[in-house]
Chains A and B, each alone.
Chain A
C-alpha cells in the first residue's frame, strides 16, 4: 500500500511540477502582456565612440524626466560594429524600437537603404517638418519620411587658436597659399598646422570632403546629382583633381605632423588638446569634446578650409537621424519621443550635448563668440553644401576616397588612381 502511495505521489509530482511551472511562466507572461498594453516605454539603439555622455543618452534622460511614466531602454553600441549589429538585428527581427541612422544611402546605416529594404516605419508629420528644404530625398522614400534629422553639423577645420597664436599664426589663413606658408612656419617651430589621423579612414576621407567644399561644391553645388545622372565622373572632374592635389600640396609643405600617415584619432585629440598641432579636420561637435580635454582658457574655432581661386564655402548638413523600426511594437511611444525631439526643447538639448547646431532655427542664432563664429556668415548666406557621402550611392565610394588619400600620402597612389577607384565604386 505504502509503495503504491509513493508511486502515486511521484507520478503526481511529475505532472504537478511542470504544470505549476507552466502556470507560473504563463502568469509572468500574462503580467508582461498586461504591462505592455499600457506601457509608454520603448528601446533605443545608438552608436557611441567614447565614454562621454552621448547626446542620445542626454535626450532620453531629459525625456524620461519630463515624462515620468516613460521607460526608455538604452542600447548604446560601439561605433565600430554599430552597422553590423543593427543590420543583423533588423534582419533577425529583434531590433530596438528606435535606431540611430544617417541620411541618404551612402552608409550601411543609411535611411534610404534601410527604408527601401522595408526595415523602417514611416514617421509622422513633425519629423517631416524639420527636414531642410532640398534634402528631402535623404530622409524620404516615395514621399514617406523614414528618418528624422537631429542635428545641423558644420564640418571644416577645428582650430586651436591659442596654439596658433603661440606658433605665430595670429589669424587663421583664409587663402590657400597663405595657409601653405603658415604650415612651413609652424613646422619650423616644432609644431604642425594639421593633426591628421592618416591611418583612420574616417579622418582622411573627411579631410578630402572638407577640401572639396571649395574645390568642387562652391562652383557646382549639384555636382553629386550630375555624377548620379552620369554627366560627369570623379576622374573627369577638375574640382576633385584639385581637391586631391591640395592634399599632396599640404603634405609636401609639411602641414601634417611627422608620421601622419600612420596616425590614429589619438593624434588629433592629443595634438589639439596638448598644443602640438593647430587644427584638425573634424565635425563641429568634436570641438566641444576636444575642448573638454584641453587646458582651461584654450580657444577653439571651426574654420572653413581656405579657398583657392574660389569663393569661401563649407560643408554643413544634418548628418544624423533617428528612425523607428518596422517591427516595433511601441511605435506610438517611439513617435511621441521623436515628436518631442523635433521640438525646440529636444533640439536644443541635443545641440547642447553634442556641440552641434540645433536642427532647426540655426540661421537665427547669434553665433558671435561661439566656436561657429568664423562660419556664421557662410551659414547665413547659404554658402554650404551637405556632406557629400550622404548623397553618394554606397559606402564603397567613400572607402575608396579615404583609402586613396592615405595612398597619396604614402606615395602608393596617384590622383587618377584614387578618382578612378571612386568611379568604379560608384557603379
Chain B
C-alpha cells in the first residue's frame, strides 16, 4: 500500500514542479522585493538620520552660538572654542578625560587578558569565577559608584582599615584629595570594566586551537613564549576590539565621576563629559556646553577611526 502525500506535506517537503519553480522568480519580481526593502528600512533610516545625525548637527550648530537654553541666541563664531582653550580648568578636563580613558584601557585590558587566560581552560571553578568577574559589568555604574564612595568616605571602611593597621597618618578624605581623587575614580572604573575586556578575550581565546600551543610546547617554547608568540598574535582582533571599545567608553565616562566626586575637588576630576553636563544643564551655558560636546565628539571620532583601521587590518588578516 502506498501513501500519497497530502497537499500540506507536499508543500513543505516535496520539490515543486520544474515549471513553477522556474517561473516563480519572474512571478514575484525582485523589483518588488527591493522596493519592499526600502520601505522596510525607511523608518530605521529616518530614525538614525533624525536622532543621530540631525540632532548632532543641530547640537554642533549651537556650539557656534551664545544660546543659554532659552529664547534667542546670536552666532558668535569660534568664541566658545577660544574660551575653552584659554581656560585652564577646561584644559584640565581634557587632560583628565584622556588620562582616565588611556589608563583605564591599559589596566582593564591587562587585567582582563590575564583573567581570561587564567580562566580559559583547566581550572575547575572557571565558570563560577567568570561569572564573578563579569558581574560588575552588569551592575549600575551609579549604584556601584555610591558603594565605592561610601568605602572611600572619610569615616568609611577604607580609612577604618588604615587606622586598624596603624596607618593613621595615611587617613584622608580620599575623594576630596586633589592628588588622589582621580586615582580613586580610575580604580572604580577599572574594577567595573575589567569583566567586559575579559569576555572579549575569552571569546578570542576560544578560537585559538590547542594544537598550536601544543606544537609550540613540543618545540620547546616556555609558558611566556607560548603566550607572547602564539596566543597573543592569535587573538589580535580581540585586542583591537577590547582596547578601542574600552577607549571610546573611557572617553565618555560620566556616571562614576558624578557619583563619586561631582568633578571635584575644585574641578580636579572634571572630564569633558561632566563639563558638558555642568555647563549646559546646571549653569545654562548651552552654546558653550555644545562646544565642549563637539570637542568630545571629535576626540571620540579620532579613536573611532583608529578602531575602523584596526578592524580593517583584522579583515585583511
Contact = CB atoms under 8 A, between A and B. Distances in A.
A262 B284 contact: no
A215 B211 CA distance: 80
Contact of B284 (A261, A395, A404, A409): A395
A54 B278 CA distance: 27
B258 to A, nearest CB: 10
B155 interface: yes
A84 interface: yes
Contact of A406 (B68, B153, B264, B278): B264
A273 to B, nearest CB: 16
B190 interface: no
A289 interface: no
A76 interface: no
A87 B284 contact: yes
Contacts of A411: 178
A346 to B, nearest CB: 29
B268 interface: yes
A114 interface: yes
A84 B281 CA distance: 6
Given A87-B284, A199-B262, A406-B264, A262 B153 contact: yes
B279 to A, nearest CB: 9
A90 B284 contact: no
A263 B262 CA distance: 12
Contacts of A55: none
A404 B177 CA distance: 14
Interface of A is mostly: helix
B265 A199 contact: yes
A145 interface: no
Nearest to A413: B266
B95 interface: no
B69 interface: yes
A326 to B, nearest CB: 11
Given A108-B282, A259-B176, A411-B178, A403 B70 contact: no
Given A90-B70, A113-B70, A262-B265, A410 B283 contact: no
A117 B266 contact: no
A177 B264 CA distance: 31
Nearest to B280: A84
Contact of B176 (A90, A91, A199, A399): A199
Contacts of A113: 68, 70, 284
B19 interface: no
B62 interface: no
B175 interface: yes
A174 to B, nearest CB: 31
A199 B175 contact: yes
Contact of A410 (B72, B153, B178): B178
B261 interface: yes
Interface in B138-194: 153-155, 172-178
Contacts of A90: 70
A261 B264 CA distance: 10
Interface in A369-427: 394-396, 399, 403-404, 406-407, 409-413
A413 B89 CA distance: 12
B266 A406 contact: yes
Nearest to B284: A108
Contact of B264 (A84, A87, A403): A403
Contacts of A198: 176, 265
Q: Which 4 pairs across A and B sit closest by C-beta, in order of nearness?
A: A259-B154, A262-B176, A407-B266, A262-B173
Interface of A: 81, 83-84, 87, 90-91, 108, 113-114, 116-119, 198-199, 201, 258-263, 394-396, 399, 403-404, 406-407, 409-413
10 contacts: A87-B284, A199-B175, A258-B154, A259-B173, A262-B174, A396-B283, A406-B266, A410-B176, A410-B177, A410-B178
